[in-house]
A and B are shown apart, each in its own frame.
Chain A
Amino acid sequence: GNSVTQMEGPVTLSEEAFLTINCTYTATGYPSLFWYVQYPGEGLQLLLKATKADDKGSNKGFEATYRKETTSFHLEKGSVQVSDSAVYFCALYGGSQGNLIFGKGTKLSVKP
């Protein structure tokens, strides 16, 4: 079945540092890939998505490219802010219920 492996956190960075959160997947076919973000005390929000190989999703300075050859969808941001502190989830569809399958989440803390 489909699955997602995400780097474990927590990740602590200083403001303006470069961020990479690794995500690799196992899937039948080429499902759409997603990054969701969960701010403290809130629900999940879609951050970005890519629907086919070589697509780049981007939003709020975050980017991720759908790499078929390495089955990866790494999240990057060139300069993080304190307000980016949150838990980030990589996801794809393919559960037995037609549901999103999530990685375990990576907690990011950005210090001023």
Chain B
Amino acid sequence: DTAVSQTPKYLVTQMGNDKSIKCEQNLGHDTMYWYKQDSKKFLKIMFSYNNKELIINETVPNRFSPKSPDKAHLNLHINSLELGDSAVYFCASSQGWGGTEAFFGQGTRLTVV
């Protein structure tokens, strides 16, 4: 059983489109995250979500929005995609805010053409 699963693994789309990436965790964790990894492998936090409390990295454009239908899911919606959004997006989960190990999904490689 995959602990944190993301779909799709690859996503190629045109500029201006709207897309979603899904994330599910079966670990019973109460906190989920979205990270963006750029071409130089640098990992940047985008969102943290815990018990319906969302914390947004203020540098993330508002075209990005997380949606959590329940504690086990945190989906990422992106509107009006731009070339600069091309990156690998990772979902992760942990128990509680900080301190404990975070488990990562396999990543979604988004390519905007």
Taking A43-B104, A44-B90, A45-B104 as contacts, is the C-beta distance between A104 and B98 under 8 angstroms? no
Which residues of chain A come closer than 8 Å to B99, judged between CB atoms? 31-32, 93
B43 to chain A, nearest CB (A): 4
Taking A43-B90, A104-B41 as contacts, is the C-beta distance between A98 and B97 under 8 angstroms? yes
B34-71 interface code vs A (CB 8 A; 1 in, 0 out): 00000011110101101000010100000000000000
User: Which residue of A34, A94, A105 is within 8 Å of B42 (Cβ)?
Assistant: A105
User: Which residue of A32, A43, A104 is within 8 Å of B40 (Cβ)?
Assistant: A104
B1 within 8 A of A: no
A43 vs B97: C-alpha distance when bound (angstroms): 21
A46 within 8 A of B: yes
Taking A104-B41, A107-B41 as contacts, is the C-beta distance between A97 and B101 under 8 angstroms? no
Which residues of chain A come closer than 8 Å to B42, judged between CB atoms? 102, 104-105
Report whether A93 and B43 are in contact in the complex, using a CB–CB cutoff of 8 Å. Answer: no
Report whether B90 and A102 are in contact in the complex, using a CB–CB cutoff of 8 Å. Answer: no
Which residues of chain B come closer than 8 Å to A102, judged between CB atoms? 42-43
Which residues of chain A come closer than 8 Å to B13, judged between CB atoms? none
Considering the complex, give the chain A residue whose CB is closest to the CB of B97.
A98
Report whether A99 and B104 are in contact in the complex, using a CB–CB cutoff of 8 Å. Answer: no
Report whether A98 and B50 are in contact in the complex, using a CB–CB cutoff of 8 Å. Answer: yes
Considering the complex, give the chain A residue whose CB is closest to the CB of B58.
A96
A7 within 8 A of B: no
Residues of B within 8 A of A (CB): 4, 31, 33, 40-43, 45, 47-48, 50, 55, 57, 90, 92, 97-107
8 nearest A-B residue pairs (beta carbon): A98-B97, A93-B98, A97-B48, A43-B104, A97-B55, A44-B104, A98-B98, A105-B41
Residues of A within 8 A of B (CB): 31-32, 34, 36, 38, 42-46, 49, 87, 89, 93-102, 104-105, 107
A-B contact pairs, 29 of them (CB 8 A): A31-B98, A31-B99, A32-B100, A34-B101, A36-B104, A42-B107, A43-B90, A43-B107, A44-B90, A45-B104, A46-B101, A46-B102, A49-B101, A93-B98, A93-B99, A94-B98, A96-B57, A97-B47, A98-B50, A98-B55, A98-B98, A99-B33, A99-B98, A100-B92, A100-B98, A104-B42, A105-B41, A105-B42, A107-B41
